Amino acid sequence: MISNTKINTAGKILKNRNEYSILEIRESEDVLTSFRAIHLPAINSFQALLRKRILRTFSNKGFVAQRLKRAPSIINKLTRNANMKLSTMQDVAGVRAIMPTLDDTLYLSQLISNTTAKHKLIKSYDYINNPKDSGYRSIHHIFEYSNTKYPESNGLKIEVQIRSKLQHTWATSVETLGTFLNMALKASEGEKEILDFFKLTSISFAILENAPSTLELTDTIKEGIFKSTISDFERLKIRDKLNGYSIVADKINKGTEKNALYYLVTLNTKEKVVSYRPYRKNQFETANKDYTETERAISAGAELQVVLVSTQSVNALKQAYPNYFLDTREFIKNVEKIRKNRITSPNMGLAKVGLLC
């Protein structure tokens, strides 16, 4: 058991490292490691709940993965939100469901939000009907975990993300490119041209899957959006950038995944090399400690990205976290669908349709 006071103190120290000693920083990192660890029963419960729903209702069409938020992401969020406390952060642990279609996504979201489970739905964020300024689309549900068997985890907040496959390929490509360009594109920070391209692409993808829109999308406006998306895709050489970062993950020895439940995935952003380390169910404590040690190396200057995830297989791992395997081929294929689905209409540029003015 860790007191909220101790957890919040650790968060304060980690986001103000220059003001504290090395010993205080390391102790705070250890507190963060333990705080993440007590989320394990909660994310396991919600992962099982999502999988059961997908199996029963959608004939297992869709996949689920879970993750513990990376320390740099936790610290950055605490830094951006001055009044936020680590003990009340809602997405330290997250479970993600990726569904084949938008209709499946919306229906699963409805089922989960109306669940009869004892966990309390705290809040929902509908980024499909109301996408973020960046173009991000998904649905987030925040639950409060309740289970008397795990008193140390009782009351923790768990974030459940539900998105379509098309929305997923967009989100992970944003993170991939952001990682290599050293830009927080997912937080709408970076080169305006790149940000505008992804915002445009999000609108184009929404048109492809008939997602709700606050715009009056006539055929002429759709043509302007599609044309500008393809134009920027080529002008900014997005294909070359993404393909240049791609790594064939098939070389990973699949034999090492036998009986593994957790994977520590490390992305070397300098060498453009990805690796993962598998852990069995009873090795979670070791996995979590290794996670912290790698994060310490990052804090010391190592050009790495790391995440500890759990999923059904390496294949599902690559599907759920393609940004760590640098697999952006699906995104490029979907951009090509925009080219094929262009509507015949007069030549209209994006400035005329007024979306990015």
Please report, as a single letter, which amino acid is at residue 193: E
Token pair of 238, please? Answer: 């997005």
Check pLDDT > 80 for residue 69.
Answer: yes
User: 346 pLDDT band (50/70/90 cuts)?
Assistant: very low
By CB atoms closer than 10 A (0-12, 13-18, 19+), residue 229 is: buried
- Mean predicted confidence (pLDDT) in 332-356: 59
Whether residue 287 is contained in a domain is answered as: yes
Check pLDDT > 70 for residue 255.
Answer: no
261 DSSP β-pair partners: none
Average pLDDT score over the chain: 86
Whether residue 23 is contained in a domain is answered as: yes
User: 354 pLDDT band (50/70/90 cuts)?
Assistant: very low
Check pLDDT > 50 for residue 350.
Answer: no
Whether residue 202 is contained in a domain is answered as: no
Check pLDDT > 50 for residue 356.
Answer: no
* Contact yes or no for 267/321 (Cβ under 8 A): no
Token pair of 307, please? Answer: 């995440």
Percent of the chain with pLDDT over 70: 90
Whether residue 231 is contained in a domain is answered as: no
pLDDT for 288 equals 93
Give the range among 176-190, 259-273, 296-310, 340-354 with minimum mean pLDDT: 340-354
Q: Rounded to an integer, what distance in angstroms lies between the CA atom of residue 132 and that of residue 134?
A: 5
Whether residue 209 is contained in a domain is answered as: no
Q: Tally the domains of the chain.
A: 1
Q: Rounded to an integer, what distance in angstroms lies between the CA atom of residue 241 and that of residue 251?
A: 22
User: 273 pLDDT band (50/70/90 cuts)?
Assistant: confident
Check pLDDT > 60 for residue 247.
Answer: no
Check pLDDT > 60 for residue 312.
Answer: yes
Task: Choose between 311 and 68: higher pLDDT.
Answer: 68
Give the range among 9-13, 88-92, 227-231, 317-321 with minimum mean pLDDT: 317-321
Check pLDDT > 80 for residue 142.
Answer: yes
Whether residue 171 is contained in a domain is answered as: yes
Q: Rounded to an integer, what distance in angstroms lies between the CA atom of residue 150 and that of residue 40?
A: 10
* Contact yes or no for 35/14 (Cβ under 8 A): no
Range of the domain at 306: 4-190+247-327
Check pLDDT > 80 for residue 60.
Answer: yes
- Mean predicted confidence (pLDDT) in 199-212: 92
Residue 3: HSE in the Cβ half-sphere, 13 Å Cα cutoff:
3
User: 52 pLDDT band (50/70/90 cuts)?
Assistant: very high
User: 269 pLDDT band (50/70/90 cuts)?
Assistant: confident
Whether residue 217 is contained in a domain is answered as: no
pLDDT for 342 equals 59
Whether residue 334 is contained in a domain is answered as: no
Q: Rounded to an integer, what distance in angstroms lies between the CA atom of residue 217 and that of residue 152?
A: 50
262 DSSP β-pair partners: 279, 310
User: 351 pLDDT band (50/70/90 cuts)?
Assistant: very low
pLDDT digits 0-9 by tens, 170-191: 999 998 888 778 788 888 889 9
Which CATH number belongs to the domain containing residue 50 in this structure? 3.30.460.10
pLDDT for 106 equals 96
User: 75 pLDDT band (50/70/90 cuts)?
Assistant: very high
